[in-house]
Structure 1
Amino acid sequence: MRAVRFHAAKDIRVEDVPEPSGKLAADDVLIAPFVTGICGTDLHEYLAGPIVTPVEPHIYTGVTNPQILGHEFSAKVLAVGDAVSHIAAGDRISVQPLLSPRNDYYGKRGLYHLSPSMGCVGLSWAWGGMAEKAVVKDYNAQPIPDGITDEQAAMIEPAAVALYGVDRGGVTAGSTVLVSGAGPIGALTVLAAKAAGAAVIIVSEPNPNRRRIIKEIAPYAHVIDPAGGNILTAVADLTEEGVGVDVALECVGLEVSLNTCVQAVRRQGKVVQVGLHMKPASIDAMLWALKDITVEATWCYPTQIWPRIARMIAAGIFPVEKVITARIDAKDVVEKGFEALLDPAGEHLKILVTT
């Protein structure tokens, strides 16, 4: 079968690999992926990996590179193991890709995303979404309602990252919000904040193409170029008595973005770290204290969030499909996928791949 596999930095290949074979374990699900999104994590692997893909056998899954990529995807169920009862052959699913023990400290508390042994389909598992077939565990296979499309179902995984940040920030009806960064997660965070009831949404984004896209998909947002305009002045102009936003969501993973969020939030407001920092950031801890703020940090998402997002999409209040800017075949995954997303002058946010 055809599969997109990561071998090393700048070495992603479309290869013919053996299909899953043998009897399924009792909790296994055999699936045929529909579409798969290229994630920022995939891009980091392509540029500088292996980072999270395993060179040595993974502590939980035991696998090593080369790795079939793809952890944002939807699929059709082909067969299920004897102990699987919540889905059946022919059902459509969205894949919740995190894999972790059910019986360690975090697993016993339902905090599966916090297990130090956690693996991920498409990053540290024998299978991934960028292949014609895959095997996942029963808890990875999340059924989806008829009211959402295969593409929307593939977008639930990145949408979960965004919605978790909005949840941690306590965004509610009438909130004022700053979203720093309008990449794929930032754009989804804007949509999630709107779904949560935010009344004023300000977006800081230096890339002109991303500013154009966010204006198209979220015309209610106030979109500002931080290089060409004073973001703090804009925040003051758009908030009551100029106090600052209730919640600032940092979706870039850069020191300057984090510090801007701290400056933009009102006293006793919340800053949520959604983007992943690749190096330590210098912060003004005294300003944090003077403003009496809360700083929240997020990692992945609670795995139980899938049905909620599916309902939001089906209800039309979380239009995740708006973030999709291209659809490509797996044969073009490097040139029209990875390289297109890494182009500084590029025009894409989320690209979906079909195998």
Structure 2
Amino acid sequence: MKALRFHAAKDLRVEDIPPPTAPGPGQVLMRNRFVGICGTDLHEYAGGPIFVPTEPHPYSGAVLPQVLGHEFGGEVVAVGEGVTKVAVGDRVAVQPLIMPRGGEYFADRGWHNLSGSLALVGLSWHSGGMSEMALLNDYNVEKIPAEMSDEEAALVEPTAVVVYACDRGRVTAGDSVLVTGAGPIGILALLTARAFGATRLFVSDMNETRLALAREVVPGLVTINPAKEDVGDVVRAATQGGIGCDVALECVGNERALQSCLDAVRKQGVIVQTGLMAGKGSVDFFQLTFKDVEIRGSWCYPTHSWPRTIELIASGAIPASRVVTKRIALDQAVAEGFEALLDPAGTQLKILIDLSR
């Protein structure tokens, strides 16, 4: 079968590889339909291996070269013994976190994301979404309703990230929310905050093209370019009493963006660090204490959030497909996908690979 495999930084190859074996007990074989290119995939391509193991993974055994892709969905074509949650012909979205069954504190409670022994489909597993087929555990697939499209199935994973971030920020009806970063995660965070009831939304980004895209996707949004305006001043001027926003979601992984969040959030507000920082960052701890602010981390999502995220998308509450700006074939993935997303011009948000093309 055809697959896109990561060999080393700047070395992605579309190759013919053997198809997966027949599913064993508790396993599901699926034909992939759409897969998204994630920021994590871009980091691997630009400077990896990072999450892709160079030695066999202690649980999964996965090692270079690795089929990429953890944002995907498709159709079940075979199931192994004991599988009851899905059947052949079901359309599914993939939850890519993998852990051994039993005996691990966090995994036993549905918090696979908090385990230090985590493996991920498309990064440290023998299958990935950037291939024609994938072999997964039954708990890695969730049936999607008829009203959800195949494209939307590939958007459940990144949407689950921001649903969890909004949960961590306790976003609720009537809140004002700042998001730093107008990339796909940032814009999905804005759509999710609105679905949670936030009524005043702000986004900051230094790329004017991205800000224009954000305004198209999220009507009524206030956009801020921190190279031209002070983020905190803009937010305070547009919030009741000039006190700042209730919640700030940092979706860049940038120290200056985090500091902007601390400046813009009101006293006793909440900051959620969603973006991954490359190194150790710092904040103004005097302001953190003086403003009585809470900073919370947000890493991936609990696996039990999958049905809820699917419902939020399928119902139209989170119109996740608005972030899709391009659809390409697997053979075009490097030039028209990875390289296009690394272009500083920032003309693309979410690019989906159509495995049927």
TM range (shorter): over 0.9
Q: Secondary structure at the match of 1:259?
A: helix
Identity %, equivalent residues:
50
Q: Find the aligned partners of 1:55 and 1:8 in 2 and give their Cα distance.
A: 10
Aligned equivalent of 1:26: 25
Aligned equivalent of 2:105: 105
Superposition map of 1:1-355 within 5 A: 1-21=1-21, 23-103=22-102, 104-355=104-355
Q: Which amino acid aligns with 2:137?
A: K
Q: Find the aligned partners of 1:194 and 1:55 in 2 and give their Cα distance.
A: 41
Q: Find the aligned partners of 1:314 and 1:52 in 2 and give their Cα distance.
A: 31
1:272·1:298 contact (CA, 8 Å) conserved in 2? yes
Gaps of 5+ in 1: none
Deviation at 1:282, TM superposition (A): 1.8
Deviation at 1:128, TM superposition (A): 0.4
Q: Find the aligned partners of 1:194 and 1:81 in 2 and give their Cα distance.
A: 40
Deviation at 1:73, TM superposition (A): 0.3
1:101·1:115 contact (CA, 8 Å) conserved in 2? no
Q: Find the aligned partners of 1:110 and 1:45 in 2 and give their Cα distance.
A: 27
Q: Which amino acid aligns with 1:60?
A: Y
1:100·1:113 contact (CA, 8 Å) conserved in 2? no
Q: Secondary structure at the match of 1:55?
A: coil
Q: Find the aligned partners of 1:220 and 1:60 in 2 and give their Cα distance.
A: 47
Deviation at 1:140, TM superposition (A): 0.3
TM-score by length of 2: 0.98
Q: Find the aligned partners of 1:73 and 1:109 in 2 and give their Cα distance.
A: 24
Deviation at 1:110, TM superposition (A): 2.3
- What is the total number of aligned residue pairs between the two structures? 354
Q: Find the aligned partners of 1:55 and 1:148 in 2 and give their Cα distance.
A: 37
Deviation at 1:101, TM superposition (A): 2.4
Q: Find the aligned partners of 1:174 and 1:307 in 2 and give their Cα distance.
A: 25
1:188·1:320 contact (CA, 8 Å) conserved in 2? yes
Deviation at 1:109, TM superposition (A): 2.4
Deviations 1:108-146 (A, max 9, x none): 222111111100000000000111111000000110000
Deviations 1:8-49 (A, max 9, x none): 00000000000112x421111000000000000000000111
Deviations 1:288-330 (A, max 9, x none): 1111111110111011111111111121110000000100001
Gaps of 5+ in 2: none
Deviation at 1:205, TM superposition (A): 1.1
Runs (4 or more) in structure 1 with deviation over 3 Å come to none
Q: Find the aligned partners of 2:343 and 2:186 in 1 and give their Cα distance.
A: 18
